[in-house]
Structure 1
Amino acid sequence: MLTPLDALMVQGTTSDAGKSVLVAGLCRVLARRGIKVAPFKPQNMALNSAVTSDGGEIGRAQAVQAQACNVEPTVHMNPVLLKPNSDTGAQVILQGKALSNMEATGYHDYKKVAMNTVMDSFKRLTDDFESVMIEGAGSPAEINLRENDIANMGFAEEADVPVIIVADIDRGGVFAHLYGTLELLSESEQNRVKGFVINRFRGDIALLQSGLDWLEDKTGKPVIGVLPYLHGFNLEAEDAITSEQVSGSHIKLNVVVPVLTRISNHTDFDTLRLNPDINLRYVGKGEPLNNADLIIIPGTKSVRADLEYLKSQGWDKDIQRHIRLGGKVIGICGGYQILGNMIDDPDGVEGSPGSSSGLGYLDIDTVLTQQKILTKSSGTLTLNGNSQTVDGYEIHVGLTQVKTESPVMLNSGTPDGAVSQCNQIFGTYLHGLFDSSEALNLICEWAGAKDIAEIDHQELKEIGINRIADAIEKYMDLSLLWPELNFERK
């Protein structure tokens, strides 16, 4: 078995137990010690993805973890990415490139082949780095998913890596979660578990001690640490929408985002959510799009299906009324396509072949294509005659014919997006549009708000990563994992 310093896998009792955050924190702890470390997630299912410098696509959590390691993300940090496009199917992306759409039963059999890709990427990382911190997916104790598993213990057994298991005490039932998860593992899998971590604890640790003693006695495994509930550390979510709002004394701009069924890359809006001058509100099923200065239609993995969903919610009528009353609208990626005249999917790239009439606010037509565009992009955003530089990335299928002015001129010399003749609506393929304070201020002025607070999004992520690492060093007994590094509890 590899040592915990060579490679360590963090598995969880449930989804959202804290695996992504714990891995990011462990990566930063090792990077602080001068260890050349990389993150790794064998299989990820998420609609929030990032474009890597080697021209591929990985889950956003692994891009954040790479930042924690102070290294550039590569496709090998997340060799299998599943992007759901229906309740039973997903697009399968191997080492950054889309392979095909598969139904769940077909992919279950395909995992035997995908394991080769996973192990190839893992070997590349172990060859290039001193240490690899690995994130599992969901829970290792899902009985129906254990056959051909490549995400949790199936990978751990194949790669022969040690494991720690994390549970979220805020959900309740933490001892049952940890004890039950361990009991459902095979003997060899249990043997590779080095201990437990309890996450999101509030209160007096003395009140928890009897439970910790019981768990260690019953399992023979140590509780490596109990991490506190950290509020507002502001790391990009792997998939779940984070709606926690930073409130200011005076709101200058009200922004509404409809939650589409396959909403993707909603991390675009974190900079809005974290700005004290902006009130960002996500609107779900059955709610109206109202009380907004600006409506943003987000990206989606299934653009035609979500266009129909948008109409079924009556949001098309809400948008029409909003525009009539002078409100502004932005479409990002799939939302940009939805604002156009026509979306044509002749090859059934995102579902059944066919065409759909868009909302008709932008004079564009889009044809969905098999080839996905994955690129980091920079350029100039121009609104109301004023310009600012923008940096971001494109990640979409579809070629769009634009018959009107474009708001963005990429540094490549290619125009991007479209602006309506009334100047109330624009769309773009560029994710990350709001990350720059200068570009955000330009957009807010266009939407009717001036002098928006400047927020450094990258600095906020750095602060969040360091807060997690600080908590890990203070509340986890890292000598149980890495005795050779001579850690002392803070």
Structure 2
Amino acid sequence: MRALMIQGTGSNVGKSLLVAGLCRAARRRGLKVAPFKPQNMSNNAAVTDDGGEIGRAQALQALACGRPLHSDMNPVLLKPESELGSQVIVQGRRIATVKAREYAALKPQLLAPVLESFARLKQDCDLVIVEGAGSPAEVNLRAGDIANMGFARAANVPVVLAADIDRGGVIAQVIGTQAVLDPDDAHLIAGFLINRFRGDPRLLDDGYALIAARTGWRGFGVVPFFPAAAKLPAEDALDLRRTAGGGCFRVAVPILSRIANFDDLDPLGQEPNVSLTMIAAGQAIPGDADLVILPGTKSTRGDLGYLRAQGWDIDILAHVRRGGHVLGICGGYQMLGHVVRDPQGIEGPAGDTPGLGLLDIATEMQPDKHLRQVEAIHASSGALMQGYEIHLGETTGPACARPFAMVDGVTEGAMSTNGRVMGSYLHGMFAGDSFRHAFLRQLGAAPSGLNYADGIESVLDALADHLEAHCDVDGLLALAR
């Protein structure tokens, strides 16, 4: 088994996309390949076939590999619930919610399960492509590190450093990273890649040569900006696209402060007859919206307060009075009820928070997390649905007798008596073409022929082609040991 690690000069330099493209390129060479990220921080998670959860980026990379999702692909996942604290998911299971300083003390204990997951994964592969987190230049976090050089040293995995020229200062990004690294860490770096270049790459020739000369590292290429990446599910909230599509059916989505699993919305944004607008803080929900979607959140009670602070509660109530439709997904579903109770203080200080009162339901937070992949039937159209549940809390009330969907003969979600307010715990529902088209048709949007899954596969193939054309993929794969 061989392995290669892509680290970055900073967060959001395109590591996830580079790994996905390399995974697809390796798969097309006939290699049995898998992705691995020792530690991830994201509120966008996927439910795995073994009943755990991993970051959405690793789910996309697994798709690029043609492999089922497994919790070993991302053994440590941090899900921020506040400015100071995060859920800690280890090998797919929530073990605690800790503050940043508490996690620093916990982190050294997590190297063992990280290496255990890596060892299990590599037993069944020809190649594992590893993604770092943040940057190895954050040397203040080096003690006990499991995300970058701490893992690479422990697992003896060669590293290629990716830098993002789009944000400027790319020469200093790479040379500066080498300058602050421990020499033994720097010794593991075998080369560098320049990502997201726009314009004539010849203009970078002198700078590229300077980086190679100053660092002694091999350059593996300059990768131009890849516009089709916008069609792939995003993991980082920094990548949230504010508008998508230009159709006449208008969907508005408030960007909650702890928005989670927002890739639920991607298929809608690619529908030709839909215009999807993400509403930022301080902006009003447009009065001409046909559908308002309240997305998932890692802090339902906290984001109810955030929603009210923006005045979105008033906008949503006015939208409903005008005859508009509302769909709440997961935490957004919980917000639509009368109250969200948290007697054990699972999401924060114990207490109750009033909901929007648009569905006759109430939610109580509980410590056990619901994690499962789901096949369901949409109650009002009969369309087949596929998705996943990943939530804390139990929701009950009279509106649950009017289900959004049926799962193995059991009701799921809820609807108002007039059917215009809907809630469901099912993430990923819009990725299924038959349900998405049936749902939009019921709300008055013209149907389309979009095949979302085929579109994602085509973009992954195009991404691999893009890397083959602009960097030394064979050289990169040959580094793996």
TM-score, normalised to structure 1's length? 0.95
Asked if residue 242 in structure 1 is aligned to residue 240 in structure 2, the reply is: yes
> In structure 2, which of residues 14, 26, 29 is the aligned counterpart of residue 33 of structure 1?
29
AA aligned opposite 1:303? T
> In structure 1, which of residues 322, 326, 329 is the aligned counterpart of residue 323 of structure 2?
326
How much does 1:245 deviate? 4.6
* 1:296-315 alignment runs, 5 A limit: 296-315=293-312
AA aligned opposite 1:116? A
How much does 1:472 deviate? 1.4
Other-structure match for 1:284: 280
8 A Cα contact 2:414 2:423, kept in partner: yes
How much does 1:421 deviate? 1.1
8 A Cα contact 1:243 1:273, kept in partner: no
1-side partners of 2:54 and 2:73: how far apart?
8
1-side partners of 2:372 and 2:474: how far apart?
42
- Secondary structure of 1:140's aligned partner: coil
8 A Cα contact 2:437 2:447, kept in partner: yes
Asked if residue 351 in structure 1 is aligned to residue 348 in structure 2, the reply is: yes
2-side partners of 1:441 and 1:24: how far apart?
29
8 A Cα contact 1:252 1:452, kept in partner: no
Other-structure match for 1:76: 72
- Secondary structure of 1:387's aligned partner: coil
How much does 1:484 deviate? 9.3
Cα 1:135–1:483 change in 2 (3 A) is: closer
Other-structure match for 1:295: 292
1-side partners of 2:405 and 2:329: how far apart?
16
2-side partners of 1:379 and 1:111: how far apart?
39
Cα 1:407–1:322 change in 2 (3 A) is: same
1-side partners of 2:242 and 2:470: how far apart?
25
Asked if residue 87 in structure 1 is aligned to residue 83 in structure 2, the reply is: yes
- Secondary structure of 1:347's aligned partner: coil
2-side partners of 1:154 and 1:287: how far apart?
43
Other-structure match for 1:401: 396
Other-structure match for 1:488: none
2-side partners of 1:203 and 1:357: how far apart?
52
Cα 1:320–1:211 change in 2 (3 A) is: same
8 A Cα contact 1:27 1:38, kept in partner: yes
8 A Cα contact 2:242 2:278, kept in partner: no
Other-structure match for 1:266: 262
8 A Cα contact 2:327 2:421, kept in partner: yes
- Secondary structure of 1:371's aligned partner: coil
Asked if residue 390 in structure 1 is aligned to residue 388 in structure 2, the reply is: no
Other-structure match for 1:462: 457
The alignment's C-alpha RMSD in Å is 1.5
Other-structure match for 2:222: 226
Asked if residue 143 in structure 1 is aligned to residue 139 in structure 2, the reply is: yes
How much does 1:188 deviate? 1.2
2-side partners of 1:84 and 1:484: how far apart?
35
* 1:367-382 alignment runs, 5 A limit: 367-382=364-379
AA aligned opposite 1:92? V
- Secondary structure of 1:370's aligned partner: coil
AA aligned opposite 1:465? L
AA aligned opposite 1:307? L
Other-structure match for 2:334: 337
- Secondary structure of 2:34's aligned partner: strand
2-side partners of 1:375 and 1:481: how far apart?
36
2-side partners of 1:366 and 1:201: how far apart?
48
AA aligned opposite 1:20? S
8 A Cα contact 2:244 2:277, kept in partner: no
* 1:101-250 alignment runs, 5 A limit: 101-233=97-229, 234-240=231-237, 241-243=239-241, 245-248=243-246
- Secondary structure of 2:46's aligned partner: strand
Cα 1:192–1:409 change in 2 (3 A) is: same
Other-structure match for 1:432: 428
How much does 1:402 deviate? 3.1
How much does 1:442 deviate? 2.3
* 1:434-449 alignment runs, 5 A limit: 434-449=430-445
8 A Cα contact 1:379 1:408, kept in partner: no
2-side partners of 1:445 and 1:341: how far apart?
29
Runs of 4+ in 1 over 6 A off after TM superposition: none
- Secondary structure of 1:466's aligned partner: helix
How much does 1:474 deviate? 1.4
2-side partners of 1:327 and 1:444: how far apart?
13
How much does 1:312 deviate? 1.3
Task: Please list every run of 5 or more consecutive structure 2 residues that lacks an aligned counterpart in the other structure.
Answer: none
Task: Please list every run of 5 or more consecutive structure 1 residues that lacks an aligned counterpart in the other structure.
Answer: 486-490
How much does 1:244 deviate? 6.2
2-side partners of 1:310 and 1:484: how far apart?
49
- Secondary structure of 1:377's aligned partner: strand
Cα 1:300–1:417 change in 2 (3 A) is: same
2-side partners of 1:409 and 1:464: how far apart?
31
2-side partners of 1:273 and 1:483: how far apart?
39
2-side partners of 1:272 and 1:174: how far apart?
35
User: Matched residues, percent identical?
Assistant: 46
Structure 1 residues 112-121 or 228-237, which shifts more? Answer: 228-237
Asked if residue 481 in structure 1 is aligned to residue 476 in structure 2, the reply is: yes
> In structure 2, which of residues 41, 51, 63 is the aligned counterpart of residue 45 of structure 1?
41
How much does 1:173 deviate? 0.7
AA aligned opposite 2:2? D
AA aligned opposite 2:293? I
How much does 1:441 deviate? 2.2
**C-alpha offsets along residues 384-408 of structure 1, whole Å, 9 cap, x if unaligned?**
xx32110000000011113123334
> In structure 1, which of residues 408, 421, 433 is the aligned counterpart of residue 417 of structure 2?
421
1-side partners of 2:42 and 2:234: how far apart?
10
How much does 1:466 deviate? 1.0
